[in-house]
């Protein structure tokens, strides 16, 4: 029999992250949306409260969340602010190649140093001419004696300028192309790592995305994750785990947009009665509630599939990311419409959510790429 209830531990994760969001994220989300600065105060609080580095196993100092537990946590962060939430959750993305493919020594060293510094990490995959097309990566990581030499150009790298480490994907043998794609741990204080620009965005302004150049960056051989040529597999395994996190962040933001617009509509009196008495508004709210519930169930299903080794996990993770972010975007647009001029005003959070959630349809593989993944899975 199917059981959709959460156990006490899972419910505790929700309550802990909701409390953190209410205390540390909601009060400052507008400030960071305006300033476009990285929210170090919130990230350090996340370390103090045991909120960050969710999937890092407990033996290395992390919470040790499985994928479903991570989704429950991310929904609450997204409900507070996706921009700040992704500053926290980007560590999960950047560290996942180490979690699934790193050596014991690498995990102890990198996780230990990062936690001690209360630092953040970045996942450096995308390039100017290699976004969804991972096979077109041109950055190189060539072995020379007892070192690898990294040269290349990355783009749209979340946490790039503030990270202590970059997980860099590069070609170990350019003649073999994508078959030689390899993941490397690159300390950002290494000579030759250069932040060349910060992206100016319409939303998620608390989160920083950068262009990064690597020029003759030397790293030791032990900073290669999983061996040469394992990069493509590590990247795909990473996305299978983290797409549900993007889905959950979007879901949380959509939930806040829905709840805000519903509360506003109940108290908005026009023609002598609340506007929720009008079927046009009531039906919009009904659609929002239904679509969010469906998105949550799909996200939980995808997370459960990964945790239980379901062979459909790749398809389901793509479905959850695509559907939840599309739903959140629709809900945010409708929330603005329900609230009219107030919805468009920065005095309420729904216009910010509309700007923020758009990026969830784009990063970690555009929703068009997710449809490609899904169609290949169902048509093979």
In this model, does residue 70 exceed pLDDT 70?
yes
Is 116 one of the catalytic residues? no
Give me the domains of the chain, ranges plus CATH numbers.
8-117 (1.10.540.10), 121-229 (2.40.110.10), 232-379 (1.20.140.10)
pLDDT at residue number 130: 87
pLDDT at residue number 380: 81
Is residue 271 a contact partner of residue 348, using CB atoms and an 8 Å limit?
no
How far does CA 9 lie from the centroid of its chain? 23
In this model, does residue 350 exceed pLDDT 60?
yes
pLDDT at residue number 307: 95
The residue to which tokens 């700040």 are assigned? 84
Mean pLDDT of 333-339: 98
In this model, does residue 179 exceed pLDDT 80?
yes
Mean pLDDT of the chain: 96
pLDDT at residue number 336: 98
Is residue 33 a contact partner of residue 78, using CB atoms and an 8 Å limit?
no
pLDDT tens column, 278-312: 999 999 999 999 999 999 999 999 999 999 999 99
In this model, does residue 1 exceed pLDDT 60?
no
pLDDT tens column, 205-224: 999 999 999 999 999 999 99
Tokens, residue 166: 């970059």
pLDDT at residue number 106: 96
Distances (CA, A) of 258 to 8, 288, 337, 353: 27, 7, 11, 10
Mean pLDDT of 44-70: 96
How many whole angstroms separate alpha carbon 119 and alpha carbon 164? Answer: 6
Q: Which position has the higher pLDDT, 364 or 249?
A: 249
* Burial annotation 123-148 (CB, 10 A radius, 16+ → b, else e): bbbbbeebbeebeebebbbeeeeeeb
Distances (CA, A) of 121 to 37, 63, 221: 17, 17, 20
Q: What is the enclosing helix (H) or strand (E) of 270?
A: strand 269-270
For residue 273, the tally of other CB atoms under 10 A from its CB is 10
Mean pLDDT of 237-258: 96
Give, as one character, the DSSP assignment of residue 220: E
Phi, psi of 172 (to 5 degrees): -80, -20
Position 131 confidence tier, pLDDT thresholds 50, 70, 90: confident
pTM of the shown model: 0.95
Tokens, residue 334: 């409708």
Q: Which of 69, 127, 228, 364 is catalytic?
A: 364
Percent of the chain at pLDDT above 70? 100
CA angle 320, 321, 327 (to 5 degrees): 85
- Ramachandran sector of residue 187 (left: φ over 0; alpha: ψ -120 to 50; beta: rest): beta
* Burial annotation 212-235 (CB, 10 A radius, 16+ → b, else e): bbbeebbbeeebbbbebbbbbebb
In this model, does residue 368 exceed pLDDT 50?
yes
Percent of the chain at pLDDT above 90? 95
Mean pLDDT of 76-86: 98
The residue to which tokens 């979340």 are assigned? 158
pLDDT tens column, 19-50: 999 999 999 999 999 999 999 999 999 999 99
């Amino acid at each position: 029999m199917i059981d959709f209830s959460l156990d006490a531990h899972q419910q505790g994760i929700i309550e802990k992250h909701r409390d953190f969001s209410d205390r540390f994220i909601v009060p400052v989300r507008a400030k960071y949306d305006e300033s476009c600065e990285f929210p170090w105060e919130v990230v350090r609080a996340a370390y103090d409260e045991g909120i960050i580095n969710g999937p890092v196993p407990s033996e290395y100092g992390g919470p040790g969340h499985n994928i479903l537990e991570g989704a429950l946590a991310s929904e609450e962060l997204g409900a507070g602010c996706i921009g700040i939430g992704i500053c926290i959750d980007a560590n999960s993305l950047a560290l996942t190649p180490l979690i699934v493919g790193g050596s014991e020594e690498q995990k102890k060293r990198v996780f230990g140093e990062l936690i001690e510094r209360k630092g953040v990490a970045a996942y450096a995959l995308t390039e100017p001419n290699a976004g969804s097309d991972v096979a077109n990566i041109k950055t190189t990581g060539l072995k020379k004696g007892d070192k690898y030499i990294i040269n290349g150009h990355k783009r749209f790298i979340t946490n790039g300028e503030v990270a202590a480490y970059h997980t860099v994907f590069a070609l170990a043998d350019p003649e073999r192309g994508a078959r030689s794609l390899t993941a490397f741990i690159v300390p950002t204080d290494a000579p030759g790592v250069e932040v060349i620009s910060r992206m100016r965005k319409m939303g998620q302004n608390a989160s920083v995305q950068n262009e990064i150049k690597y020029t003759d960056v030397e790293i030791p051989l032990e900073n290669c994750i999983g061996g040469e040529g394992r990069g493509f597999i590590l990247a795909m395994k990473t996305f299978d785990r983290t797409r549900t996190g993007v889905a959950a962040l979007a879901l949380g933001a959509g939930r806040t947009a829905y709840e805000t617009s519903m509360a506003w509509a109940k108290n908005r009196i026009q023609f002598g009665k609340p506007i929720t008495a009008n079927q046009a508004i009531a039906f919009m709210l009904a659609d929002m509630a239904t679509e969010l519930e469906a998105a949550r169930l799909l996200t939980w299903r995808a997370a459960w599939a990964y945790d239980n080794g379901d062979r459909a996990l790749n398809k389901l993770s793509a479905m959850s990311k695509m559907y939840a972010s599309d739903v959140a975007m629709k809900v945010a647009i409708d929330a603005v419409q329900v609230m009219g001029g107030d919805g468009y005003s920065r005095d309420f959070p729904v216009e910010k959510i509309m700007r923020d959630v758009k990026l969830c349809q784009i990063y970690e593989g555009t929703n068009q790429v997710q449809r490609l993944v899904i169609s290949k899975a169902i048509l093979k």
